[in-house]
Amino acid sequence: MNMNLNQHIKLSPKVEAALKEGCPVIALESTIISHGMPYPQNVETALRCEAAARECGAEPATIAVIGGKLCAGLTEEEIDYLGREGTKVTKASRRDLPILVAKKADGATTVAATMIIAAMAGIKIFATGGIGGVHRGAETTMDISADLEELAHTPVAVICAGAKSILDLGLTLEYLETKGVPVLGYQTKELPAFYTPHSGFSVDYRADSPAEIASFIRAQREMEYPGGMLITNPIPDQYAMPADVINAAIDRALKEADEQHVKGKAITPFLLARVCELTGGDSLASNIQLVLNNVRLASRIAAELAK
């Protein structure tokens, strides 16, 4: 790590020790804490994710910008702070990081920003809920998440439950194909749709074990390919939502967002919150379970990579 970068990045003692010893480490994002869920479920979920990682043998590195420092590994107090502040905290993507560092400000990191800081820290695996993607209507709005571009450039493997089902899943897959990002399905050839295992779209490859996924990641890194890899992990059937219920809620939320002129980085938090309200909280319960499921898989992949 160069000296200029070293002054900006801060590893927790446990994360630093694990990386030095070659032990499994996984990155976790922080916008799920500030913008993805209400308080106190957001903090409870973040701490449950960290506990789940440790139970599976990996050290969790929850990532955020605190006081201008690019932090990989947060204290419980910092996690609680992000949860309490919620949307008052900047939702930080790639473009925001230099500004937050210079201003010594705080930011909760998106998938893109979390990948950047994870790569800086030397963390190869990252578990999240769902990635951003191509928004519905993007052919006229050009609203495409920076997460997709980051996957094309930054060497971190991302484990998720597919792209968020509020998006245009077909166009999201097309974009990833254009950018040369490998998209795997864990024990499936179908792209999961966040709240449901089924989307009707196929992924590039099926992988049946964490060891097999680790072999793909290892080969990509040994070949010095730019960019990362997307591993999609379906939500367990017992926590999935009926497709007609979730799609009806999404359609209504999208209509309301359009009527209220909600755009840009505000759109995803708005839609997730509204879908939660429209489903009586069922979507939040599903969201929590799919994140935990992804953390467990990511930890097992990290353990295989560390062998």
Residue pair 68/90 in contact by the 8 Å Cβ criterion: no
Sign of dihedral through CA atoms 37, 41, 47, 50?
negative
Q: Which of 10, 29, 78, 150 does the annotation list as catalytic?
A: 29
State the alpha helices, DSSP H only, in the chain: 3-6, 13-21, 31-34, 41-55, 76-85, 97-103, 111-121, 138-141, 146-153, 169-178, 210-222, 243-259, 267-278, 282-305
Q: What whole-number distance in Å separates Cα of residue 71 and Cα of residue 61?
A: 9
Q: What whole-number distance in Å separates Cα of residue 152 and Cα of residue 180?
A: 7
Distances (CA, A) of 283 to 105, 128, 202, 236, 243: 32, 16, 24, 14, 12
Q: What whole-number distance in Å separates Cα of residue 206 and Cα of residue 153?
A: 23
Annotation marks residue 29 as catalytic: yes
Structure tokens at 290: 């799919």
Q: Which amino acid is at 25?
A: V
Q: Which of 10, 91, 124, 164 does the annotation list as catalytic?
A: 164
Question: What number of CA atoms fall less than 13 Å from residue 72's CA on the CB side?
Answer: 29
In 3D space, the residue among 169, 135, 146, 142 whose CA is nearest the CA of residue 254 turns out to be: 135
Q: What whole-number distance in Å separates Cα of residue 88 and Cα of residue 198?
A: 34
Annotation marks residue 124 as catalytic: no
**Residues belonging to the active site:** 29, 164
